[in-house]
Amino acid sequence: MPIQFDDPLGPLDRFRADAVICLSQRVPGWVRSAPAMMSRFKIIAAKGGFLKHVGVGEGDVLPFELYDAGTHALYSPSGLMSTWVDEALAARGKKRLVKTTTSTFNSLGRLVSQTDLIATVPEFAANDLARLYPLQTFAHPLGAESDLMLAWHVRNDLKPDQQWFREQIFAALHPLTSA
């Protein structure tokens, strides 16, 4: 089930999910939660694309002016055209040009590798995509990080099968956490 950004905990109460991974937040009394992972965000761009001509090296912080002037692709399973990045830019009086969205990281990586588009993605996704496609990665000029939590309904708190399920999720997410 895709993340419901407007009500990430709702599926728990409506028996639509046993657990959800969402941005860390305060939770009501009927929810239990635990930190799941922290990830920095990186920028991906095509190797040999327009950034090769501007003197920014792989892994460097992409200068804000280049980030702001770039044309962006966006990972958005919901199809929404804005994220926390747009809120952060708006706070600076800026707005990015999002040309397209994709519903998977894989399609985003492929698209960016074949165009002059750039994209903001979690560090673990950027590193994986750079192994699959001719991409280079850059540190994000906003220095952005995301703390995610795993949340579940209190009714599932002590059930052994649900405890096992949560342990599997934590074990899978642990290697993805940014150092």
Pair 133, 105: CB distance under 8 Å:
no
Pair 35, 177: CB distance under 8 Å:
no
> Above 80 in pLDDT, residue 51?
no
Confidence grade of residue 45 (pLDDT, cut at 50, 70, 90):
very high
The winner for highest mean pLDDT among 19-23, 75-79, 127-131 is: 127-131
The runs of H, that is alpha helices, within 25-159 are 64-69, 84-91, 105-113, 123-132
Residues 6+ apart with CB under 8 A from 147: 23, 24, 35, 37, 38
* Residue 163, pLDDT score: 97
Pair 123, 40: CB distance under 8 Å:
yes
Average pLDDT, integer, range 113-139: 94
* Mean of per-residue pLDDT scores for the chain: 89
**Are 43 and 110 contained in the same domain?**
yes
**Are 83 and 157 contained in the same domain?**
no
**Are 25 and 49 contained in the same domain?**
no
Q: 121 in a domain, yes or no?
A: yes
Confidence grade of residue 1 (pLDDT, cut at 50, 70, 90):
very low
Pair 87, 94: CB distance under 8 Å:
no
Per the confidence metrics, is the pTM higher than 0.75? yes
What is the rounded distance in angstroms from the CA atom of residue 26 to the CA atom of residue 8? Answer: 12
* Residue 5, pLDDT score: 54
**Are 29 and 44 contained in the same domain?**
no
Per the structure, the count of domains in the chain is 2
* Residue 48, pLDDT score: 80
Q: 133 in a domain, yes or no?
A: yes
What is the rounded distance in angstroms from the CA atom of residue 90 to the CA atom of residue 148? Answer: 23
Strands 71-75 and 97-102: what pairing? parallel
Which structural domain range is residue 26 located in? 10-37+148-174
Query: Among 66-70, 71-75, 110-114, 154-158, whose mean pLDDT is lowest?
Result: 66-70
**Are 133 and 87 contained in the same domain?**
yes
Q: DSSP class of residue 154?
A: G
* Residue 39, pLDDT score: 84
Q: DSSP class of residue 94?
A: -
> Above 70 in pLDDT, residue 69?
yes
Element (H, E) at 164: helix 160-173
* Residue 6, pLDDT score: 65
**Are 47 and 133 contained in the same domain?**
yes
CATH code at 55? 3.40.190.10
* Residue 121, pLDDT score: 93
